[in-house]
Amino acid sequence: MDVKNVFLQGELEEQVYMVQPSGFLSILNVTSVVYRLKKSLYGLKKAPGAWNAKITQRLQQRGFAMSKSNPSLFIQWGQNGPVSILLYVDDLVIVSADQEEILRVKFQLGASFELKDLGDLHYFLGIEVICTLEGLQTNQRHYVLSMIFKFGMTDCKSITTPLHRNVKFRPNA
């Protein structure tokens, strides 16, 4: 899922003031006006934090718990098992064994944010995701191939492990 206009959705807790943008025409014909922002704007240093606070609050209000080991991962136990949401800026990956739970979560989040459903997950942060009968498999094949091309190693002979077998490593004394 893609959340539209994320940096325009966060509410600012601090008082932030902004000079009137150049080229802005005021009804009062006054050019030296200062505005107090109530919501974040693109380019504002506080915008990412304000968005993260808002999405975290919404997810927790809907029963999701933030993972202690990864603050971008939110988990909720549904009727048929866990539902996980992985958050990266404006992208949400929703994972569950139960398709109805995924639809429920999409509906709930759609009530708070304008969402765009990007369909089944194929790539996320450069990681390829393949759905199989056993579950989800991930790999970085595309990244590895791009590095091979970048460094001119396309004609290299491939091996499973680039080290001799039975090599024993010792710490430097």
Q: What is the pTM of this model?
A: 0.70
Average pLDDT, the chain: 84
95 or 162, which is more confident: 95
In a domain, 166, yes or no: no
User: Are residues 129 and 114 both part of a single domain?
Assistant: no
Model confidence at 141: pLDDT above 70: yes
Query: Can you give the pLDDT at residue 63?
Result: 92
Model confidence at 25: pLDDT above 70: no
3-state secondary structure of 5: coil
- Of the pLDDT bands very low, low, confident and very high (cuts 50, 70, 90), residue 28 is low
User: Are residues 86 and 25 both part of a single domain?
Assistant: yes
In a domain, 103, yes or no: yes
pLDDT-wise least confident of 6-10, 146-150, 154-158 = 6-10
152 or 158, which is more confident: 152
- Give pLDDT tens digits for 63-79: 999 999 999 999 998 77
User: Are residues 10 and 65 both part of a single domain?
Assistant: yes
In a domain, 162, yes or no: no
Q: 121 — alpha (psi -120 to 50), left (phi > 0) or beta?
A: beta
The residue range of the domain holding 6 is 2-118
Q: Are 34 and 18 in contact (CB under 8 A)?
A: yes
User: Are residues 17 and 88 both part of a single domain?
Assistant: yes
User: Are residues 63 and 87 both part of a single domain?
Assistant: yes
Nearest CA-CA partner of 1 in 125, 129, 87, 61:
87
Residue 2: its H or E element: strand 2-3
Laid out side by side, the sheet with 135-139 consists of: 123-124, 127-132, 135-139
